[in-house]
């Protein structure tokens, strides 16, 4: 199951006893049917299993689709109205496993929403407003309703000079992320498993942006692709323009792949986007809450340096992702892996000798370290930052600090701005 699935901003006209909007009379231009666009470019796209949502369509006698916000590997994303906007995620249903995952996700979201509203981190995770099912050509689709958000934290960073967020602002946002993780780990007993910049969203600073966006699509619709089977593929309208205000409030989102943490029992399986993947996951030795902590530690470079920590294995910049190279760079960063750590991995023989050393030690770079990868800090600030990330990026999962412990780190509170 993948992250970004349809968000449809809609109007709950039934709740407000309003009539739905009429269909727009504006005629959109047509896109060449031979061109692949939007979700059609996803390797998981299968038309029969995606719900064929249409702008103007009313779902569950309550929500009217207004604009498309985007798409994911197994879904598409939409929006509507000036009374209230919501984001509607429509899951695809291309397999029994997918349908089961949709049901699990629904239960996870219900629990996250109600577990403990008094916890500070509750404010910084996405909450479920409503859920229902719609019938498509290949069966039922689970729909989840959320508050709409502005953009991912990764995109938000691009608004700053050199794609780097000022540390004094990021430290506040990082505390919100840690509060969210503490809530998930300690109150909900949930491991996110897919923490990355795209799965941390920034809240809207002005809800009028939603009205303007819907109005634009109604009056001047974007080009559409009309397929031979009757489907319409819409272009996404998800750009809200320049920030009107910097509110710095985030929510951790996309719990499609979240799993239950269960005491000292480790979870199995391959999780996390490759460049944020923890070593215990690479070696398949089981993972726990601390896998999320590793991902967050690696992500700090995205926000504070404008690039990923492990650029050499990042599929966005490298030719391909390679586990062996990734382990080599981790080794350069942290030193050789503890033998008792690698010994327990199911995939260990692929990368390590019987003596516990990497089979291809020549892949280990000689000039890769925390110090060499940090250019935006120097002096005491740099020393404190490295001390902070050293608490998250460790070989042994049990040695990583928890989110609650990290919230007390002095680097987070160094030169804390007066608001």
Alpha helices in 254-375 (DSSP H): 279-282, 290-304, 323-334, 339-342, 348-351, 370-373
Among 243, 270, 293, identify where a domain stops. 243
Do 194 and 313 reside in the same domain of the chain? yes
Residue 241: the pLDDT is 82
CA-to-CA distance for 353 and 342, rounded, in angstroms?
10
Cα angle at 151 between 149 and 155, to 5 degrees?
165
Helix axis angle, 167-182 to 290-304, nearest 10° = 160
Beta strands 58-59; 63-72: pairing state: antiparallel
Local mean pLDDT, 10-residue blocks, the chain (419 residues): 39 49 87 91 82 90 85 56 74 65 85 96 96 88 90 90 88 97 97 96 89 88 92 86 85 93 86 97 97 98 94 86 96 97 96 95 95 94 97 98 98 67
Measured distance CA(327)–CA(265) in Å, rounded? 25
Q: Is position 250 within any domain?
A: no
- CB–CB of 123/61 below 8 Å? no
DSSP secondary structure letter of residue 197: G
For CA atoms 59, 64, 66, 70, give the dihedral sign: negative
Work out whether the CA dihedral 326, 72, 199, 249 comes out positive or negative. positive
348 and 236: one domain?
A: no
CA distances from residue 174 to 147, 188, 194, 368 in whole angstroms, order as listed: 21, 20, 17, 25
Considering the domain architecture, whether residues 239 and 381 belong to the same structural domain is answered as: no
CA nearest to 72, candidates 220, 170, 199, 171: 199
Q: Decide if 351 is inside a domain.
A: yes
Return the CATH number at 38: 3.30.200.20
Q: Which of 109, 102, 103, 75 is nearest to 6 (CA)?
A: 75
Is there a single domain that holds both residue 97 and residue 180?
no
Residue 94, SS3 per DSSP? coil
Specify whether 144 is located in the same domain as 155: no
Inter-residue contact 43 to 194 (CB < 8 Å):
no
The domain that holds 387 is classified in CATH as 1.10.510.10
Specify whether 231 is located in the same domain as 290.
no
Q: For residue 123, what pLDDT is reported?
A: 97
Is 252 a member of any domain?
no
Tell me if 390 is assigned to some domain.
yes
Tell me how crowded residue 140 is: count the other CB atoms within 10 A of its CB.
Answer: 14
User: Does one domain contain both 175 and 237?
Assistant: no
Q: In this predicted structure, what is the pLDDT of residue 79?
A: 52
In a domain, 248, yes or no: no
User: How many whole angstroms separate alpha carbon 66 and alpha carbon 68?
Assistant: 7
Task: Report d(CA 268, CA 112) in Å as an integer.
Answer: 22
Q: Is 386 exposed, middle or buried (0-12, 13-18, 19+ CB in 10 A)?
A: middle
The answer to whether 185 touches 403, Cβ cutoff 8 Å, is yes
Q: At what angle do helices 290-304 and 379-390 cross, to 10 degrees?
A: 150
**94/218 same-domain check:** yes
Which residues are the active-site residues?
194
Whether 255 is in a domain gets the answer: no
Could you tell me the pTM of the whole model? 0.89
Total structural domains in the chain?
2
List strand residue ranges (DSSP E) for 33-129, in order: 58-59, 63-72, 75-79, 87-90
Token duo for residue 393: 């990026």
Neighbours of 206 (CB within 10 A): 14
CA atoms within 13 A on the CB side of 395: 19
The residue among 282, 188, 206 whose CA lies nearest residue 249 is 206
Domain limits at 228?
1-149+206-243
Report strand pairing: 75-79 vs 130-136. unpaired
Residues in the chain: 419
* Same domain, yes or no: 217 and 311: no
Q: Note whether residue 253 is domain-resident.
A: no
Judge if 89 and 177 occupy the same domain. no
Task: Determine, yes or no, domain membership for 251.
Answer: no
Tokens of 337: 């892996």
Last residue of a domain, one of 214, 243, 272: 243
> Do 336 and 346 sit in the same domain of this protein?
yes
> Quick one: 327 and 349 in the same domain?
yes
pLDDT at 84: 78
């Amino acid at each position: 199951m993948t992250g970004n699935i349809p968000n449809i901003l809609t109007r709950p006209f039934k709740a407000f006893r309003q009539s739905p909007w009429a269909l727009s009379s504006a005629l959109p231009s047509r896109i060449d049917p031979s061109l692949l666009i939007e979700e059609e470019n996803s390797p998981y796209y299968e038309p029969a299993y995606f719900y064929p949502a249409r702008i103007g369509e009313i779902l569950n006698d309550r929500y009217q689709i207004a604009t498309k916000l985007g798409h994911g590997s197994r879904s598409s994303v939409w929006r509507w109205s000036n009374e209230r906007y919501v984001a509607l995620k429509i899951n695809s249903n291309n397999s029994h496993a997918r349908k089961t995952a949709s049901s699990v996700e629904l239960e996870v979201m219900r629990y996250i929403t109600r577990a403990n509203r008094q916890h500070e981190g509750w404010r910084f995770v996405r909450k479920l407003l409503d859920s229902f099912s719609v019938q498509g050509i290949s069966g039922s689709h689970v729909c989840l309703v959320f508050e709409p958000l502005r953009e991912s934290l990764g995109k938000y960073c691009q608004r700053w000079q050199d794609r780097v967020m000022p540390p004094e602002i990021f430290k506040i946002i990082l505390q919100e992320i840690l509060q969210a993780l503490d809530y998930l780990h300690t109150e909900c007993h949930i491991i996110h498993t897919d923490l990355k910049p795209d799965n941390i969203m920034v809240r809207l600073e002005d809800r009028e942006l939603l009205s303007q966006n819907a109005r634009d699509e109604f009056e001047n619709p974007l080009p559409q692709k009309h397929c031979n089977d009757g489907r319409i593929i819409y272009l996404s309208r998800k750009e809200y323009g320049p920030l009107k205000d910097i509110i710095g409030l985030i929510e951790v989102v996309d719990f499609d792949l979240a799993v239950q943490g269960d005491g000292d029992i480790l979870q199995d399986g391959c999780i996390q986007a490759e460049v944020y993947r923890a070593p215990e996951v690479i070696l398949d030795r089981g993972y726990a809450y601390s896998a999320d902590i590793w991902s967050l530690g690696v992500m700090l470079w995205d926000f504070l340096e404008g690039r990923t920590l492990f650029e050499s294995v990042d599929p966005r910049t490298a030719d391909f992702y390679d586990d062996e190279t990734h382990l080599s760079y981790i080794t350069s960063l942290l030193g050789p892996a503890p033998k008792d750590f690698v010994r327990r991995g199911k995939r260990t023989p692929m990368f390590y000798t019987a003596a516990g050393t990497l089979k291809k030690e020549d892949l280990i770079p000689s000039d890769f370290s925390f110090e060499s990868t940090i250019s935006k800090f120097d002096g005491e600030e740099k020393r404190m930052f490295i001390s902070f990330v050293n608490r998250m990026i460790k070989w042994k999962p049990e040695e990583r600090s928890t989110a609650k412990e990290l919230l007390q780190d002095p680097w987070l509170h160094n030169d804390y701005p007066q608001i």
